[in-house]
Amino acid sequence: MSNKTQEIRAKYDRDKITVYQAYNKQIAIKAIKNNKFEAPFSFKRMTWIKPSFLWLVARSNWGTKSNQEYILGVELYRGCWEKALENGVLTHPDQKVYKTGKDWADQFKKAKVHIQWDPERNIRGAKLDIRSIQVGIGSTLIEEFNEDWIAQITDYTPLTKKINALRKQGKHKEAKRLLPKEIRYEVAESIQKKIGIY
C-alpha cells in the first residue's frame, strides 16, 4: 500500500486514459458527435481535465449546475496525458518540489500546463484524505489537445443521472457498482517529483 496522499487514480487501459469534463448542451452535443471540441468551446483559456469521476460530479453537483449539465468522458492517448504531466507546474509553491518561491513563480509564469491537487470525494460527496489531480491545459496546447490527444468523447450524462438517482434513494452500494473503475496510475519517478507525488 502506498502512503502517498497525492496519487493519480483513473480509468485506463494500455493506450488510453479517461478524463472528465462538464459542459453545457451546446458544447457537449457537438463534442460527442465529432469527438473533438468546437465553438462555443473556448480555445483561448485554460481547460481543466480530471481523471476522477467522483470529483468532477461533486464539482458539477451531479450535472445540475448551470453550464455543467453534460458530463463527458474524454479518452486521451496515454502518451499525450503524460506529455501534459511532464509540462506541468503546480499551482502553489510546494517546498518539496521547488527550491524557492521565486523558482516556482518563474516556472509558473511560463507553464503550459497547471497541476492542482484537491481532496478526492466519496459517493456521498464527502471529502477524503487522498488528493486527486486536476490538470489545466493552457491556451498554447489546447489546439493540439483537441486535434491530436483525443481518441473518443463519450456522454456520461445518463450514467451520472442513474448513479445520482440511486444515491438519492440511499442505495449507495448499487450506485458504487456503476462507477467507472479507477485504479492507481503509475508515472515515472521524474514526473512524480515534478507534480508533487512523494
The chain-wide mean pLDDT, for the chain, equals: 96
pLDDT tops 60 at residue 3 = no
User: 158-163: which pairs have CB atoms within 8 A and are 24 or more residues apart?
Assistant: 159/71, 160/57, 160/62, 160/63, 160/71, 161/62, 161/63, 163/57, 163/62, 163/123
pLDDT classification of 86: cutoffs 50, 70, 90: very high
Mean pLDDT of 29-52: 97
Q: DSSP code of 198? A: -
Domain boundaries, the chain: 9-192
Q: pLDDT value at position 2?
A: 46
> 67: how many CB neighbours lie within 10 A of its CB?
12
Question: Where do we find the cell 507553464?
Answer: 111
Nearest residue to 58 via CA among 20, 27, 108:
20
pLDDT classification of 1: cutoffs 50, 70, 90: very low
Q: pLDDT value at position 187?
A: 95
Q: pLDDT value at position 170?
A: 97
Mean pLDDT of 147-176: 98
Q: pLDDT value at position 198?
A: 84
Paired with 183 in beta bridges are 10
Output the CA torsion sign for 54, 58, 62, 67: negative
pTM: 0.95
Q: Which residues of 130-149 are buried (b: 16+ CB within 10 A; e: fewer)?
A: bbbbbbbbbeebbeebbeeb
* Beta carbons of 96 and 195 less than 8 angstroms apart: no
> Nearest 5°: CA angle at 51, between 176 and 48?
130
Mean pLDDT of 100-126: 97
The cell numbers describing 88, all together, are 506541468
Mean pLDDT of 89-104: 97
Mean pLDDT of 110-122: 97
Mean pLDDT of 14-42: 98
